[in-house]
Each structure stands twice: as C-alpha cells, then as structure tokens.
Amino acid sequence: MLKDSLNIFKTDIKTIIHNPFVMLVLIVIVLIPSLYALVNIDANWDPYSNLNQLKIAVVNNDNGYLTNNTNINIGQNILDGLKENGGFKWEFVNYTDGMEGLESEKYYALIEIPKNFSETVYSIEEGKNTKRSEIILLNNEKTNPISPRIINSGLDQVQSGINGEISEIIAGIVSSKLHDVGEQAKDNENDFIRIKTRLNQLNYVFNQLEPILENSNLSQIVPEEVSDKVEDLITLVRIDTAKINSVDYSELIRLANINTKDVEYYIQSPVTLEKHSLYPSDNYGASISPFYICLSLWIGSIVSLAMISNRVQRRNRKNEIESVEENFGDQIKTDENYEYGSSSVFIGRMGLFILINIFQALFMAVGLFLLHLQISSIPIFLTTIIYIGLCIITIVYALISTFGNVGKVIAIVLLVLQIPGSGGIYPMELMPQFFRTINSILPMTYAIKVFREVISGISWNSYFYNLEILSLIAISVLLFAIFFKGKINKYSKNFEDKLKESGLF
C-alpha cells in the first residue's frame, strides 16, 4: 500500500512538472487563499484611519447667550473645533440642505445644534431651571450597515470634546460663584462679627429676663399676649444665636483664595481612567488576522479539492511494470491498466494536497510579513501556519475523500458555521445559543486561538492546549476516513451515479 501511495505521489509530481497548464492552475490554487487573507486583512488594517472620508452635515442654529454684555455662541465654538478636528469630513450647511443631503445619501449623518444651546448651558448661571444641553444626531442607517456604528463610535469622541468644553464653561461659572461668595464674605466679615456679637449680647439679656417673665405676679402687670410674644422672640433669638455661632466664617472667607483653575480642572474631570493592555494589538488588522488566516486556509483546502480530483482513475502503467512486477506478478503483465486500492489512493493523493497546502501557507505568511503584521515570533509563526494548514487540509480532504460530493457540502457547511461560531470576530457570549453550543467542536475555534497567541503574545499553556485539541480533531477525522472510507465510498458512489443519471450533475 505504501509503495502504491508513493507511486501515486511521484506520478502526480511528474504530471505537474511536465504539464504547464496544470502548473498554472496549481499556482492559482496556491495564491487564492493568500490573496483572500491579505486583501481582507489589509482592508481591515485600520478602518478608522479613513473616517475623514465619511461626510457628515453640521447645522448650527444656536442663537447664543448674552452674558456680561457679551454674546457667547457655544455652537459656533463647536463648529470651530470640528473644523480643526480631522475625525470626519464635516460639511457645514443649513438645515434644509443638510436634510436633503441626508435623505439623498450624500451625507451619512447630520448633527444639529439647536437654537437655545448656549442659553441652556448658561442656565446654571442663574441657578434655576437648569437643563441638560442637547445636540441632535440623525443617522441614515440605509446607506450602510456598519457606518452608523462607526459614526456613533467616532462621535463619542467628539461628544467627549464637546462635554469637555461645556464642562469648562460650567466649571468656570461655578468656581467664579464660589470665589464671589468668598469675596462677599470677606467684605462683610466686620458686619458678621458685629451681628454675632449683638445677638450674643441680646441672648445674654434675655437669659437675665427669663426668670422675671416666669414670675406669676407679672401676669397682673403685663398682658399674657405680650408675655407670649416676648417668649417667642427670646426663642427665635436663641435659635439664631446658635446658628450664627455654628458658622465658621473663616471657611467662607477662604473661598476668596481658591484657585479657580484647579476647581475648573477638577469639575471637568473628577475621575481619570488609567488604561493598560495585556497582549496589546498594534491595530485592528492584527486583531482580525487570526480569523482571516484560518478562514483562508479552509477556503484554500476546499478550492484545492474542488479543482483537483481526490480519486485516482485507472492509469496506463507500462513505464512502471518493472517496478511493480515483483509485487503483482502476472496481473501487470496481462493488464497494462492497474487500479490502486482505496487506501493507497487516499494516502497517495493526500501527499499532493499537503504539498499544495504548505505552499498556500508559505505564500500567505510571506504576504503577511510584507504587510508588517504584528508577530511575536517569526519561526513559531511559520511553523504554526504550516501545521494548522496541515490540520485543516487533513480534515477537509478526509471528509471529501470519504463522502465524495456530500463531503464537499459538509466542508462548506462547516465553513459557514465557523464564520460566526468560532469566535473569530465577536465574543461568543454575544452570539446566539446555537453557535455558543457548537463552538467547542469547531476546528477553527482552536486554530484562531493558536494564531492569537503567536500574533499578540504567547501564553504557552493556551498555545499548546488549543493546538492539541485541533490535532485531536484532525487525527480523529483522518482515522475515521482510513477505517470507514471503503464502506462509505460504495454508498457515496451510488449516490453520485444517481445524480449523474439525472443529467443535472
């Protein structure tokens, strides 16, 4: 069997070398997965770097606000800031033109600053009827399924900038008010002390009068109504005296000495977020590349098996009679057509697909190097991409070789399921329950995790664990094919014959 398998492989190589058309087709087959991976990874390399191509209309209807004999228009300040901000392609228009452009898909979104924007911001200055300021965003979600999410994400940064500007204004108003309170307290310190002294003196006098007022004989001289009012007055004086004695007036005076800039800075950002990354990615392309590498290797395997037959037909073997005559005796002498056994065909033709797959992986790796993909170790990356490619071609080849055209359907269905089910793009926790259930049995789940280790930084426990699971899946499918291929081929051949008889396949 091994000798037949080796003869099949040698014959395949000779056919490729001596037939330029076959060589051309194989080159295309080798390049297809590389092109697919490189084009998609490059397209997703840094999509946010092209945000300045997304047109967004900006309408400023702000009437401004008059304060200290100065008309302040915060809406115009925001427009000036956007002109300096290269985030999107801002176009400053009136409301009518903006809405027409949004409906005609000239603009992806429209931002409107309302008429009372500045007035609402400065409502805090009066200390009453304070309202939150609003900026209106209209998205045309028909233009593109992703653009509204990108715009919302990008505008979050713009909103942070606007909030920073508004916070600065509000912080300035608050700190100014605090400073004014301190200045007024400082100016009125003597009056406060004088009032406090007078109240304490008055309270002392009332303390002296209280025993007299409690004398029962007093009611004969002073009417009860007058006596009650005097007692109420004494109670009020005592309450006011207690309140004024509890006030630390020096604290109010210290407000005059506050650093308004420090207060403004604190109000603008009372809490800061310090960010650190474990195994950071250089860009989005590095993050998405494990998914596209695995997807491309799977597509490359399907393309190879779709273009090249995995079955070896009867061959004329006159030039090989001497080499096999010793083993097959009179059978070769009397029949120059020799049919290989199914196991020999399986192993022999598999060699060609493995060779193609190795070249597919190598070409892909070279292309990724030229893209300057973030890689933690080049030797480990080369070894990994070749090994994972071998696991994938083993799975796909075993399925198609065993089940024929039905195996191709299975390989394609697996491909479709692995796009959402492998966790290559979205976290599995965000996916429907069905994909979360099948995630652990999909080969690409583990292949993607292995590539993430090699690209972003290796955790060896995770690397070898996922590589072992992927290897077990590949070996299990291979052993299944070796032991059951012969029996299953009979049924799959009958199935394919029936399809051919229909004249449609």
* Residues 114, 108: Cα–Cα separation, whole Å: 20
- Any idea what DSSP says for residue 188? T
Are both 237 and 290 inside the same structural domain? Answer: no
Residues 6+ apart with CB under 8 A from 5: 343, 344, 345, 347, 348, 351
Residue type, position 440, single letter: S
Residue 278 lies in a domain: no
For 447-487, give the DSSP string.
HHHHHHHHHH---HHHHHHHHHHHHHHHHHHHHHHHHHHHH
* Average pLDDT of the segment spanning 45-59: 82
More confident residue, 247 or 408: 408
Q: What is the pLDDT of residues 59-118, one digit of tens each?
A: 999 888 887 777 888 888 888 877 876 678 889 999 999 999 988 889 888 889 889 888
Residue predicted with more confidence, 382 or 320? 382
* Amino acid, single-letter form, for residue 249: Y
Residue 317 is predicted with a pLDDT of 44
* pLDDT tier at 214, thresholds 50, 70, 90: low
Based on the fold, state whether residues 472 and 327 are members of the same structural domain.
yes
User: Within this chain, do residues 41 and 58 fall inside the same structural domain, yes or no?
Assistant: no
pLDDT at 264: 56
How many distinct structural domains can be found in the chain? 3
State the pairing for strand pair 109-113/55-60. Answer: parallel
Closest to 389 measured CA to CA, from 359, 412, 409: 359
Of the listed ranges 261-265, 335-339, 423-427, the least confidently predicted one is: 335-339
Domain that holds residue 406: 2-46+283-493
The residues near 372 (Cβ < 8 Å, ≥ 6 apart) are: none
Beta-carbon contacts of 137 under 8 Å, excluding residues fewer than 6 positions away, are 109, 110, 111, 112, 155
Q: Percent helix, strand and coil across the chain, each rounded to 5?
A: 75, 5, 20
* Domain annotation covers residue 500: no
* pLDDT range class, residue 47, cuts 50, 70, 90: confident
Could you give the CA distance from residue 452 to residue 280 in angstroms, rounded to a whole number?
A: 11
The predicted model gives 179-206 an average pLDDT of 69
54 or 312: which leads in pLDDT: 54
Same domain, 399 and 452: yes
Token code pair at residue 113:
């600053």
Look up the CATH number of the domain holding residue 172.
Answer: 3.40.1710
Q: Quick check: is 273 in a domain?
A: no
Report d(CA 149, CA 156) in Å as an integer. Answer: 11
Give pLDDT, residue 273. 55
Same domain, 14 and 146: no
Render pLDDT for 396-434 as a digit per residue (tens, 0 to 9).
999 998 888 888 999 999 999 999 999 888 888 888 999
pTM for the structure as a whole? 0.70
* β-bridge pairing 70-72 and 65-67: antiparallel
Residue 66 main-chain phi, psi, to 5 deg: -90, 115
